[in-house]
């Protein structure tokens, strides 16, 4: 590799690093639009949750076949990146297969493992393309996936297929050159998955083979760097965010709703129970959530970690019965609004004062009112995303700020307030059955 080529590679590496850093900084800014939310308790449980769910993909295996194919891609992503390290060193030093002299015969074993994973990834991606575009799994062909989300999913799969083909092509031509004794190429003693491809290139001359091998090498490393940047714009950001997302999971029992601190404080003061620790109660800016800044930062991280797999929507009883609610769409809309506001703020625009809001312009009242708060979406998510907490905050806003909940709900709220019962009569005989039981005993 010439000095000019090395300089070009270094420039490519630095450029992709800068772009990636800026995008990560953007995402961090978007997530921090949310309110503070301390969640650092039960650290051993959090580490265990992250290990089982993010690293071990525990919840994925409720569906064995897609889980197994996904696991192959996941393992390949982790292990093949070790080979990318060699690509980077070769690019910076002008060497070829930098680790081969140090690892000896183990290098061939490692290359066969990489090739197996590359082939497994290729097969898995083809299977996922078939599921999305031919057999059309229902949860992967819903309305919220029309347009860019569907194109994004297909692009990632196609890019991965092409990158894996580049690895196999590079190895096949590399070994032909080594067998011909071309300087700089080393025989590895048989590669199981690229060797069958060698007949495709045997008729080529030395120059053509070198050009093919080098083209595949450059295509793969440029593709990896571009992929790293592209992932941050894609639903595949969950590859990285799954780990913090599961660590900050809500560890409270399913069905336990978080009380509003402001309301709890006011009720305690009314009942003479204190609760303000002697401090003057702070003014409440808003009950519930109307826009992304009313949510907490974990809600927004959930939105960016969403895999758009649709398992939440497929399990949602409201969606199954034909209502408009889709927990996946709730998360996608929250992410889109956070990105829109962040772009506006960084460009010196109006930001949150743009005349739009998450509730109304992105998510409708019909959607959130359809929620049964059953937690099926939370249970189904493979990375512990919590759409229900966002829905509850939006509903609290409509009830407490706008008083625009459905009429039946408002009647129930009023009955509970006046009669301590959902029905419009005092529960004077509510516990009479208990008295009867005492007499019988």
- The overall average pLDDT reported for the chain is 88
Residue 318 lies in a domain: yes
Residues 155 and 137 grouped into a single domain: yes
pLDDT of residue 280: 53
For residue 267, what is the domain's CATH number?
Answer: 1.10.1060
Provide CB contacts within 8 A for 139, sequence distance 6+.
309, 310, 311, 313, 314
Task: Indicate whether 387 belongs to any domain.
Answer: yes
10 Å CB burial of residue 126 (0-12, 13-18, 19+) is middle
Phi then psi dihedrals of residue 296, to 5 deg: -95, 165
- pLDDT per residue as tens digits for the range 97-141: 888 888 888 999 999 999 999 999 999 999 999 999 999 888 988
Give the per-residue pLDDT at 407. 80
**What average pLDDT score do residues 325-338 get?**
96
Question: What is the chain's length?
Answer: 441
| Higher pLDDT among residues 267 and 386, named by residue | 386
Q: How many Å apart are CA 413 and CA 433, to the nearest integer?
A: 26
Would you say residue 329 has pLDDT above 80? yes
Task: Give the number of C-alpha atoms closer than 13 A to the C-alpha of residue 263, restricted to the C-beta side.
Answer: 10
Residues 217 and 75 in one domain: yes
Query: Poorest-confidence range of 125-139, 205-219, 275-289?
Result: 275-289
Q: What residues contact residue 306 under an 8 Å CB cut-off, 6+ apart? A: 235, 238, 328, 331, 332, 335, 385
- The better pLDDT of the pair 432, 63 is held by 63
Number of structural domains (the chain) is 3
Identify whether residues 299 and 437 lie together within a single domain.
Answer: no
Angle at CA 47, nearest 5°, toward 46 and 49?
60
**Does residue 438 share a domain with residue 317?**
no
Given a cut of 90, whether residue 285 has pLDDT beyond it is no
The answer to whether the CB of 378 falls within 8 A of the CB of 390 is no
Query: Is there a single domain that holds both residue 104 and residue 142?
Result: yes
Are 420 and 394 within one domain? no
Same domain, yes or no: 184 and 289 = no
Decide if 321 is inside a domain. yes
Mark whether 163 and 305 lie in a shared domain.
Answer: no
What is the domain range of residue 83?
Answer: 3-31+63-247
* Residue 222 included in any domain: yes
* Residue 312 sits in the same domain as residue 421: no
Same domain for 309 and 332? Answer: yes
In a domain, 25, yes or no: yes
Please, which residues bridge with residue 35 across strands? Answer: 296
**106 and 210, same domain (yes or no):** yes
Share of the chain above pLDDT 70, in %: 94
In this prediction, residue 404 carries a pLDDT of 80
User: Is the model's pLDDT at 193 over the cut of 80?
Assistant: yes
Indicate if 208 and 301 belong to the same structural domain: no
Q: What's the alpha-carbon Rg for the chain, to the nearest Å? A: 28
Q: Per the domain annotation, does 211 fall within a domain?
A: yes
Confidence of residue 269 (pLDDT cuts 50, 70, 90): confident
**What is the sign of the dihedral through the CA atoms of 283, 291, 261 and 412?**
positive
More confident residue, 256 or 378: 378
């Amino acid at each position: 590799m010439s000095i000019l080529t090395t300089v070009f590679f270094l420039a490519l590496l630095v450029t992709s690093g800068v772009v990636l850093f800026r995008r990560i900084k953007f995402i961090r800014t978007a997530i921090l639009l949310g309110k503070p939310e301390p969640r650092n308790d039960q650290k051993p449980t959090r580490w265990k949750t992250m290990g089982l769910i993010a690293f071990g993909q525990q919840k994925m295996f409720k569906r064995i076949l897609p889980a197994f194919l996904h696991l192959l891609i996941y393992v390949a992503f982790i292990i093949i990146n070790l080979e990318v390290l060699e690509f980077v060193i070769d690019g910076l030093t002008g060497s070829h297969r930098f680790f081969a002299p140090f690892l000896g015969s183990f290098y061939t074993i490692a290359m066969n493992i990489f090739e197996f994973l590359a082939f497994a990834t290729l097969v898995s991606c083809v299977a996922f393309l078939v599921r999305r575009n031919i057999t059309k799994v229902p949860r992967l062909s819903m309305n919220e996936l029309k347009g860019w989300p569907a194109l994004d999913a297909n692009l990632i799969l196609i890019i991965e297929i092409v990158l894996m083909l580049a690895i196999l092509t590079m190895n096949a031509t590399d070994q032909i050159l080594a067998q011909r004794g071309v300087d700089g190429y080393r025989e590895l003693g048989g590669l199981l998955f690229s060797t069958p491809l060698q007949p495709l290139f045997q008729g080529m001359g030395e120059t053509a083979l070198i050009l093919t091998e080098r083209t595949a090498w450059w295509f793969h490393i440029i593709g990896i760097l571009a992929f790293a940047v592209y992932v941050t714009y894609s639903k595949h950001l969950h590859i990285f965010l799954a780990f913090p997302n599961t660590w900050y999971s809500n560890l409270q029992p399913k069905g336990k709703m978080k009380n509003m601190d402001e309301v709890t404080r006011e009720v305690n003061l009314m009942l003479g129970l204190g609760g303000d620790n002697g401090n003057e109660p702070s003014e409440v800016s808003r009950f519930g959530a109307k826009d992304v800044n009313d949510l907490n930062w974990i809600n927004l991280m959930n939105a960016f970690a969403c895999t758009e797999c649709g398992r939440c929507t497929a399990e949602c009883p409201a969606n199954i019965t034909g209502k408009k609610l889709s927990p996946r769409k709730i998360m996608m809309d929250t992410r889109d609004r956070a990105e829109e506001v962040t772009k506006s703020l960084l460009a010196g625009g109006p930001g949150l004062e743009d005349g739009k809001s998450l509730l109304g312009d992105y998510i409708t009242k019909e959607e959130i009112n359809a929620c049964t708060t059953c937690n099926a979406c939370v249970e189904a998510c493979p990375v512990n995303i919590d759409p229900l907490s966002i829905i509850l905050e939006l509903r609290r806003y409509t009830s407490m700020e706008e008083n625009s909940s459905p009429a039946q709900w408002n009647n129930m709220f009023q009955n509970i307030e006046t009669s301590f019962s959902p029905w419009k009569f005092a529960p004077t005989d509510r516990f009479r059955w208990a008295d009867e039981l005492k007499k019988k005993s």
